[in-house]
Amino acid sequence: MSVQLEPNGRLRHLLTTEGLPREMLTRILDTAESFSGVLGKSVKKVPLLRGRTIINLFFEPSTRTRTTFELAAQRLSADVLNIDVATSSTSKGESLLDMLRNLEAMQCDAFVVRHADSGAAEFIARHVRPGVAVINAGDGRHAHPTQALLDAFTIRREKGPLEPLTIAIVGDILHSRVARSQIHALLGLGAGQVRVIAPRTLLPRDIQRLGVRVYEDMDAGLEGADVVMMLRLQRERMRGALLPSESEFFARFGLTEKRLERTHPDSIVMHPGPVNRGVELDPRVADGPRSVILRQVTNGIAVRMAVMSIVLGGYSDATETGLEESPS
């Protein structure tokens, strides 16, 4: 039973891209497309969520994701409350459920949740009272659906329909919630081929069952790719004996201009940020003409606006998003 979808197909929460029907994925992207028009205007606000309260509940530090969620909520005229729960204070003293009950008592309409535990967002979604929506802003290694949707949105904008595309995801697949959500979102949207490229120590067991092709050789994996999605490598991976060094990782799995030559001549390079320059990406690639990394950030706002408006209002397309009311 899906927690995030109601029986009538309405999106109640956004917890994962796994199992989302293609129509819903497309609808989110289409709605984001309509919002991105607003963002180009001088007055960037729509009154869609006026009077609604959204709580950014972050159990893990994050600047980028939290900021874009905050901006998205503000652009929709919602009231936003940021709660940063330092890891140290989430001791066994107050349980997650207790905290949830307390926040619910403040009459909020949605929680945007980031938590270090896989399944935390789903757990919260199962326990919020009816009418409160939960948007997953990253849970452990499990999912980061808005990141994946903004990536899909960026690809669609840059490259058009996903069906003919070969998309390679490179790096620390094992620990990456972004990669898991990307895989489900891209395949759900009908992407031609999704590849993952990593050394074996950074590949989760049975990842091919998710529908991807697995490459342990970077050059082979990049061959003919239309999109290269790099993942961030956490520095602590050396300690767990997953990798010998950053330099060895970069030498085998870093994206350089030379390696990029193996991809399709019009390929684009993406990264969820923040980039470890010289570890995942050669700075010349990160700043080069194929890089769409900054556009991903911009698109993140529109996509998060789309998700918020859909889970909080059930609005289906641009004509219902209140865009007509916005000054032109």
Site residues for other proteins per CB under 8 A: 1, 3, 18, 95-97, 115, 117-120, 122-123, 139-143, 177, 180, 204-207, 209-210
Quote the CA–CA distance of 260 and 150 in Å, as a whole number: 23
Nearer to other proteins, 120 or 270 (CB): 120
**Toward other proteins, which CB reaches closer, 214 or 318?**
214
Least distance CB 153 / other proteins (angstroms): 23
Instruction: Find residue 143's DSSP bridge partners.
Output: 139
User: In terms of CB distance, is 148 or 293 closer to other proteins?
Assistant: 148
DSSP code string of 60-99: S--SHHHHHHHHHHHHTT-EEEEEE--GGG-STTS-HHHH
Residue 124 vs 305, nearer CB to other proteins: 124
Least distance to other proteins, CB of residue 221, Å: 19
Residue 119 CB, shortest distance to other proteins, in Å, is 4
| Nearer residue to other proteins within complex by CB, 52 or 177 | 177
CB of 145 to other proteins, least distance (A): 12
- Residues 288-295: contacts with CB under 8 Å, at least 24 apart: 288/257, 290/260, 292/154, 292/158, 292/268, 293/269, 295/154, 295/157, 295/158
Beta carbons within 10 angstroms of residue 42's beta carbon? 6
Query: In whole angstroms, how close is the CB of 132 to other proteins at the nearest point?
Result: 18
Nearest one of 277, 303, 158, 177 to 228, comparing CA atoms: 158
Minimum CB separation of residue 88 from other proteins in Å reads 15
**Closest distance to other proteins from the beta carbon of 229 (Å):** 18
What is the distance between the alpha carbons of residues 190 and 269, in angstroms, rounded to a whole number? 20
Residue 53 in contact with residue 108, Cβ under 8 Å? yes
Per-residue DSSP letter, 240: T
E strand or H helix at 134: strand 133-139
Kindly state the tokens that stand for 163.
């069906």
Show the DSSP H helices in the chain as ranges. Answer: 22-39, 64-75, 96-104, 120-127, 145-159, 177-188, 218-222, 246-253, 257-260, 283-286, 293-313
Phi, psi of 19 (to 5 degrees): 80, 0
Q: Which is nearer to other proteins, 39 or 238 (CB)?
A: 238
Nearer to other proteins, 159 or 180 (CB): 180
